[in-house]
Structure 1
Amino acid sequence: MRIKIKNLFTRYSITGRLTILYTTFTFALLLIVNIILFKVITSNLEKEDSQFLRNKINVIRVILQKDDTRKGLEEEIIWEGYALQFTRYFARLIDGKGNIIIETPHMAKLLKPSFFPPPHKNKPDELSKKIKNNSGQTYLLMSAYSDVNKWNKSTKVIQVALDTTYEENIIKNYGEIIILILIGGLIFAGLIGVYIAKKGMEPLKNITEATGNITSSRLNQRIGSMNWPKELTILAKAFDEMLNRLEDSFNRLSQFSADIAHELRTPINNLMGEAEVALSKERSAVDYKRVLESNLEEGQRISVLIESLLFLARAENSEIKLEKTEFNAKIEIEKIIEFYQSSAEEKNIKFIFYGNVNVTADPVLFSRAIINLISNSIKYCKENGEVKILLKQTENNSAEIKIIDNGIGIASEHISKVFDRFYQVDVSRANSIKGTGLGLSIVKSIMELHNGTIDIHSEINKGTSIKLIFPA
């Protein structure tokens, strides 16, 4: 049952829910207040009526004690009821044998002695009850002994009554007024609830309109700078942070698309240009061979570029499964240096090792990362330069590999961007030294796959230091 009610409630809009909650609580508050007032008024009236009859009983007792004559009783019992303008009061005095000594005129027709509760010795003044006759009139009846200290055959019984019909009608009318107040309050609370809910939801409507104006061409817009309520400020900030990420991703995607188009266009144009030149007239076998070798080189460059992009895409989508093993990092790096030895000898570059360490990593990806770094060091190192390779184990048993060259270096303003795809520090260097611009991006992706870190420090004309840390 609770689930059904909950599901039914969740179908309503937030405005509807707020209206229902506000109306319900307002109605409950009105109901509680009016019930309390009704109880208080009813209780006070009953207490006043009971106290009035007790006072009359005490007056009759005093008359009986001081002046046991019929004159005093007639003044109190017969004439007192007529003297009260708005209160119909009745009194009766009965002897020990049950005979009526004196009573208010017409009392015998309205209220017979048997209607009254019998007096009680232990509670002589508190026995009362209400009755309603055939005419619809309501009476409060009370009985008591004339003498509270002794009870014998001569002890008289005092019966008093009060017509409470008027008060009962007042209470009934008040109850009807309460019902009307509750119905009116419910309607009024519902209308006010709708108004308050709509006013309260206006900021949410405004923030919805603001977000609706943001398109792919307007991702630079932000909504957090507007004046929002405190509750929506957090939402606006979170939305702006999401926009920052979307804008960054969108810019990267746009830049990536432009870069890949540019990177592919150059070798394709070279292929087409050389083919057109070769076909423009008859060439010798040597010329055709040279064109084919050039085309093969450009084809290899395109293949490397595509393979690198595919690797980065798989790494970002977590499609690469690591096959980690523990191996000696120095031995693996020496194999890579041996492969690049001829390229290093052309520039008379020396490799210097310091230390040794075992690393837990995927051997293939480890080799790929080191190949990219060694290749860069050779490309950008000066003639007669040197490349230092520092290997050590950190305090938390991670493997630290640092590759330091004394090459041309990188300016500080470019350091934060060297891991971006296709990023070139400057055009002149990019043209003089061929590369895909993806090497450091691949290294960073490999380190992220291993939950490791990569740091770079560089100074112009002093060289570059790159540190890799593979966790244990």
Structure 2
Amino acid sequence: MSAFHALRLKALTLAQRLTLLFVAIASAVLLGLGAVVARSVQQHFEDLDMDVLSGKMELITQALQNVATPQDLTGLAHQLARSLVGHHGLEVLLLDADQSVLFATAHASFDPQQVVAQARQALPGAVLWPLEAHTYRVLAARLATAVKDAQGQRAEVFVAAGIDIGHHQAFMQAFLHTLWWFVAGGAVLTAVLSGWAVRRGLAPLLEMRTQAQGITAQQLGHRLHLQHLPVEMAELAQSLNNMLARLEDAFTRLSAFSSDIAHELRTPVSNLMTQTQVALSRARSADDYRNVLESNLEEFERMARMMADMLLLAKADHGLVLPRLETLDMAQEVRTVLDYFEMLAEEKNLSLQLTGDATLMADRLMLRRALSNLISNAVRHAVAGSVIRVELQNLADQLEISVTNQGETIAPEHLERVFDRFFRVDPARQRGHEVAQEGQQEMDSATPQRAGHAVYPAARAEGTGLGLAITRSIVQAHGGRISAQSDHGVTTFSIRQPDL
């Protein structure tokens, strides 16, 4: 049954839920207030009845103190009859020790045994007794007289004073009946007013919904208006605007990434097709076919590296790249990487220099790959005869690794994107495809060795365009950050790694 009610509740709109909530709260408040008032009125009636009953019981007690002989009981009856004149609904019954009636008002037909039992219990308050068609609030007591028996003990009588509470009950019944109608009317009025107030209060939310419906993949730059919104909804709208900004940025990057990857894959695929078509255009020797296959193998290897790098970046984006930390001698690690690039640097007349010393908790293979990418980038863009410097510097609670080379200055607008996937500062991104076209033209007239190895040399030298993006992912996986600076022909990539 609870599941059914939960399903019914889910089918309600927010305005309906709020209206029902307001109605429930208003009804509960009215019912609670009515219960408090009813209890207060009831207690007031009880207090009035007790005042009357206590006063009459005190009068009877004083009158019994003057009863010294049995004959005085007759005068007592007359005195009580006179004192009760004008008290409508008040009944008094006076019994002796043998439960004989000494005095009784016209309608005091209480059960003597019940009177005696109630008086012997000596309860502090009154009790309700139904009598015929009426209900009485009765106060019973056992009182002593001045008459003494043969043993010298004062004789006792039993007194019951009751007051008809029918008019009180009738009033309370009418009051509760009126209360129920008032609560019902208040609930209906609350529903009407709450519905109007909720619709008016939710009007900005409906306006936000209308604005949000106009946002599409082609209009991610649209933002929700914050003017004239309540504070709570303004905060919600601002959060949605921030989300839209993140989505727009991610969508832009995804679109650029899709375009870049299509371009990067198109070039090697085009080269493979071109070389294969040229090779099949006429009969060739086994060495010619071997050269073509070797060239194709290089393209396949490049594509395989690109896919492996993209898989690594995808894992890094989802936090699946977990470093295996160990204590590393950073100077030794940098020397190992520099030794690898030493021959290539000599070919370009470059000098490799390391300064500083430090230790760091990091993943050895991942860190070497990040350093290799930075040094490879520096070697590729450094001018001949310059020095590539790798500096290790211990700061307060982190290690800074900087790689500096001399070459062309990177424009400030490009510095913000150098770590993006497939981004290259050099706009000549079609060179590989152009070389492939040249290779096709030369292949028919050139020797097999030139045809097999001249195709796409520039593209192979440039790599996959993912090196710096992978470096950033590795640094971020270690909890660090990487930045780039370029000014007056000097470019520096800096890694700041916290001391784990």
1:137 aligns with 2:113: no
Q: Give the corresponding residue for 2:9.
A: 12
- The answer on whether the counterparts of 2:409 and 2:488 sit within 8 Å (CA) in structure 1 is yes
- Three-state SS of the structure 2 residue aligned to 1:111 is coil
1:458 aligns with 2:458: no
**Following TM superposition, by how much is the alpha carbon of 1:329 offset from its aligned partner in structure 2, in angstroms?**
1.9
Distance 2:359 2:156 in 1: 117
- The answer on whether the counterparts of 1:60 and 1:73 sit within 8 Å (CA) in structure 2 is no
- The answer on whether the counterparts of 2:92 and 2:108 sit within 8 Å (CA) in structure 1 is no
Distance 1:212 1:344 in 2: 58
Letter paired with 2:486? S
TM-score normalised over the length of structure 2: 0.67
**Following TM superposition, by how much is the alpha carbon of 1:416 offset from its aligned partner in structure 2, in angstroms?**
2.0
- The answer on whether the counterparts of 1:418 and 1:425 sit within 8 Å (CA) in structure 2 is yes
**Following TM superposition, by how much is the alpha carbon of 1:250 offset from its aligned partner in structure 2, in angstroms?**
0.9
Distance 1:127 1:397 in 2: 83
Distance 1:120 1:439 in 2: 101
**Following TM superposition, by how much is the alpha carbon of 1:125 offset from its aligned partner in structure 2, in angstroms?**
12
TM-score normalised over the length of structure 1: 0.70
- Three-state SS of the structure 2 residue aligned to 1:317 is helix
- The answer on whether the counterparts of 2:57 and 2:161 sit within 8 Å (CA) in structure 1 is yes
1:338 aligns with 2:342: yes
**Following TM superposition, by how much is the alpha carbon of 1:37 offset from its aligned partner in structure 2, in angstroms?**
2.4
Letter paired with 2:305? E
Q: Give the corresponding residue for 1:50.
A: 50
- Three-state SS of the structure 1 residue aligned to 2:148 is coil
- Three-state SS of the structure 1 residue aligned to 2:115 is coil
Distance 1:418 1:63 in 2: 112
* Pair 1:220–1:310, CA change in 2 (3 A): farther
Question: Between Structure 1 and Structure 2, how many residues are aligned?
Answer: 448
**Following TM superposition, by how much is the alpha carbon of 1:269 offset from its aligned partner in structure 2, in angstroms?**
7.0
Distance 2:274 2:495 in 1: 42
**Alignment deviations for residues 259-307 of structure 1 (CA, whole Å, 9 cap, x no partner):** 3444555677788899999999x9xx9xxx9xx99x9989957863663
Higher mean C-alpha deviation, range 120-129 or range 23-32: 120-129
Between 1 and 2, higher relative CO (CA 8 Å, sep ≥ 6) is seen in 2
1:215 aligns with 2:219: no
Work out the percentage of aligned pairs sharing the same amino acid. Answer: 23
Letter paired with 1:386? V
- The answer on whether the counterparts of 1:77 and 1:91 sit within 8 Å (CA) in structure 2 is no
Unaligned residue ranges in structure 1 (runs of 5+): none
Letter paired with 2:420? D
Residues 45-444 of structure 1 aligned to structure 2 (within 5 Å): 45-56=45-56, 77=81, 81=85, 83=86, 87-90=88-91, 104=105, 107=106, 111=109, 114=112, 117-118=115-116, 129-134=127-132, 136-142=133-139, 150=146, 152=148, 160-181=161-182, 204-223=205-224, 225=226, 227-263=228-264, 304=302, 307-308=305-306, 310-318=308-316, 326=328, 328-345=332-349, 349-355=350-356, 365-391=366-392, 400-425=400-425, 427=427, 435=462, 437-444=465-472
Higher mean C-alpha deviation, range 50-59 or range 237-246: 50-59
**Following TM superposition, by how much is the alpha carbon of 1:12 offset from its aligned partner in structure 2, in angstroms?**
1.8
**Alignment deviations for residues 428-457 of structure 1 (CA, whole Å, 9 cap, x no partner):** 799899735444223323433444433322
- Three-state SS of the structure 1 residue aligned to 2:470 is helix
Distance 2:182 2:313 in 1: 70
Q: Give the corresponding residue for 2:440.
A: none
* Pair 1:250–1:316, CA change in 2 (3 A): same
Letter paired with 2:9? Y
1:35 aligns with 2:35: yes
* Pair 1:386–1:175, CA change in 2 (3 A): closer
Distance 1:409 1:352 in 2: 21
**Following TM superposition, by how much is the alpha carbon of 1:251 offset from its aligned partner in structure 2, in angstroms?**
0.3
- Three-state SS of the structure 2 residue aligned to 1:334 is helix
**Following TM superposition, by how much is the alpha carbon of 1:459 offset from its aligned partner in structure 2, in angstroms?**
0.4
**Alignment deviations for residues 297-327 of structure 1 (CA, whole Å, 9 cap, x no partner):** 8995786366335403422324767677757
* Pair 1:228–1:300, CA change in 2 (3 A): farther
**Following TM superposition, by how much is the alpha carbon of 1:114 offset from its aligned partner in structure 2, in angstroms?**
2.8
- Three-state SS of the structure 2 residue aligned to 1:50 is helix
**Alignment deviations for residues 389-435 of structure 1 (CA, whole Å, 9 cap, x no partner):** 3346667685x543222222223343222212333446479989973
* Pair 1:160–1:309, CA change in 2 (3 A): closer
- Three-state SS of the structure 2 residue aligned to 1:223 is coil
* Pair 1:340–1:11, CA change in 2 (3 A): farther
Distance 2:410 2:475 in 1: 21
**Following TM superposition, by how much is the alpha carbon of 1:93 offset from its aligned partner in structure 2, in angstroms?**
6.7
Distance 1:437 1:446 in 2: 16
Two-structure CA RMSD over aligned residues (Å) = 5.2
* Pair 1:32–1:366, CA change in 2 (3 A): closer
Distance 1:185 1:223 in 2: 39
Unaligned residue ranges in structure 2 (runs of 5+): 433-457
